[in-house]
Amino acid sequence: MVKRLFIFERYIMKKIAVFTSGGDAPGMNACVRAVVRTAIYNNVEVVGIMHGYNGMISGGEEFIPMSSRSVGNIIQRGGTILKSSRSEGFKTKEGRKLAYDNLVLHGVEGIICIGGNGTFTGAEIFHNEYGIPSIGAPGTIDNDLYGTDFTIGFDTAINTAMEAIDKIRDTAESHGRIFFIEVMGREAGFIALASGIAGGAEIILLPEISEDINEVVQFFKTRELNKKSFSIAIVAEGNYEGGAFSISERLKREIPNFESRVVILGHIQRGGSPSAYDRVLASKLGNAAVEALLNGEKNKMAGLINNRIALTPFHDTVCIKKELNPDLLKLIDILNT
Ligand code: F6P
């Protein structure tokens, strides 16, 4: 039986749960740490759920009591100590019923979920069915969530991509080659745009912009005429013309003299120690998420807009498309001459 405590009419939860879900992102640990320590500061118990929604469904050893100590020495670590999953089980009514039973068994009254689109969609459905309130913190390298200027992990990921681009540029110049570098981002071009600008790329192909491939070919032909011997092209993985391999093949057919290579950066963008920016962002948002939950908010994501904490309904974070920064988009053509 859950004991209810009222202070000045404000109901204080006794126990909340925290978990990480979806693709991991550097800074998730810093966020878990902030969640646990903010809850303890407010005299609220915290249980950590391992492996995201899959752990919620399995229960048992997947539910771990958290203390200040259990989140010590993790702020600098990549990955997530709570592990993660993309749960198929939670998409089913049966799975969500098992998850609810486990939360009740552990006396959990509210949830902090750290993840992206899929995580928040699941939390909202769960609330509609069982009434358990959730607050989210945006944890994804993709930066594709409406309601926050930056997601936790994005800054580290673009720095990882930029360092890789710098290294590739050295060898591109030595051999006079075009490199097509594919970066992550699912259906969003935030990583491609930021890392491409930071890495001085000549071409940045984004899922949001329907670039005419013939113009891309023409761009490289002009560079050839101008004796520009090497180039860096960034291709977002969700680019509509296809991935880096297919674009490179197309170019090879059109400009046989140009030697090209393809690099897929892949999951290295998801790992590594979080940047200072991501650690601070994760700490702020983890804290804000717990404060919001304890203040009676639900089904919202805690984000940062213009450097201020903002709560946005899950529905909007998932359904409203976040736009790429138009000032950055303009820079692509100005700086690649
Ligand atoms: O978490 C985001 C992300 O890294 C996307 O950029 C990418 O499309 C996807 O996850 C890859 O997912 P997985 O690791 O499950 O293959």
Tell whether ligand 1 has an atom less than 6 A from the beta carbon of residue 141.
Answer: yes
Final residue in a domain of this structure, among 270, 294, 329 = 270
Same domain, 279 and 166: no
Q: Residue 228 domain-assigned?
A: yes
Structural domain ending residue among the three candidates 235, 250, 270: 270
- Do residues 61 and 175 both lie within one domain? no
What residues contact 258, with CB distance under 8 A and at least 6 apart?
Answer: 177, 178, 220, 224, 251, 252
Kindly state whether residue 327 falls inside one of the protein's structural domains: no
Residues 56 and 190 in one domain: no
Answer yes or no: do 31 and 97 share one domain.
yes
Nearest to 151 by CA among 100, 117, 126, 101: 117
Residue of 184, 265, 269 to test ligand 1 pocket, by largest number of atoms within 8 Å of CB? 184
**Residue 186: CB within 6 Å of ligand 1?**
yes
Q: What's the 190 CA to ligand 1 centre distance in angstroms?
A: 14
278/207 same-domain check? no
What pLDDT score does 175 carry? 95
| CB contact at 8 A, 45 and 76 | no
3-state SS record for the chain = CCCCEEECCEEECCEEEEEECCCCCCCHHHHHHHHHHHHHHCCCEEEEECCHHHHHHHCHHHEEEECCHHHCCCCCCCCCCCCCCCCCHHHCHHHHHHHHHHHHHCCCCEEEEEECHHHHHHHHHHHHHHCCCEEEEEECCCCCCCCCCCCECHHHHHHHHHHHHHHHHHHHHHHCEEEEEEECCCCCCHHHHHHHHHCCCCEEECCCCCCCHHHHHHHHHHHHHCCCCCEEEEEECCCCCCCHHHHHHHHHHHCCCCEEEEEECHHHHHCCCCCHHHHHHHHHHHHHHHHHHHCCCCCEEEEEECCEEEEEEHHHHHHCCCCCCHHHHHHHHHHCC
Q: Which atom number of ligand 1 is nearest to the Cα of residue 238?
A: 8
The total number of structural domains that make up the chain: 2
Q: Does 259 share its domain with 148?
A: no
Domain of residue 265, CATH code: 3.40.50.460
Is the residue at 4 inside a domain?
no
Residues 124 and 44 in one domain: yes
CATH number at residue 283: 3.40.50.450
* Whether residue 278 sits in one domain with residue 258: no
Q: Hey, which residues are catalytic here? A: 142
CA 83 to centroid of ligand 1, rounded, Å: 15
pLDDT, position 5: 52
Residue 108 belongs to a domain: yes
CB-ligand 1 contact for 140 (6 Å cutoff): yes
Q: How many CA atoms lie within 13 A of 268 on its CB side?
A: 12
Residue 130 and residue 22 share a domain: yes
Whether 237 and 213 map to the same domain: the answer is: yes
148 and 23 inside one domain = yes
Residue 231 lies in a domain: yes
Report the predicted TM-score, pTM, of the whole model to 2 decimal places: 0.95
Does residue 171 share a domain with residue 130? no
Residue 184 Cβ < 6 Å to ligand 1:
yes
Return the ligand 1 atom nearest residue 23 CA: 1
Pocket lining: 121 vs ligand 1, CB cutoff 6 Å: no
pLDDT of residue 9: 56
Containing structural domain, residue 212: 155-270
7: in domain? no
Note whether residue 128 is domain-resident: yes
**86, 186, 193, 237: residue to mutate for ligand 1 pocket, most atoms within 8 A of CB:** 186
Given this model, what pLDDT does residue 210 score?
86
* Tens digits of pLDDT across the chain (337 residues): 445 555 555 678 999 999 999 999 999 999 999 999 999 999 999 999 999 999 999 999 999 999 999 999 999 999 999 999 999 999 999 999 999 999 999 999 999 999 999 999 999 999 999 999 999 999 999 999 999 999 999 999 999 999 999 999 999 999 999 999 999 999 999 999 999 999 999 999 999 998 888 888 888 888 877 777 899 999 999 887 778 998 899 888 888 888 899 999 999 999 999 999 999 999 999 999 999 999 999 999 999 999 999 999 999 999 999 999 999 999 998 998 7
- Measured in angstroms, how far is the CA atom of residue 266 from the centroid of ligand 1? 9
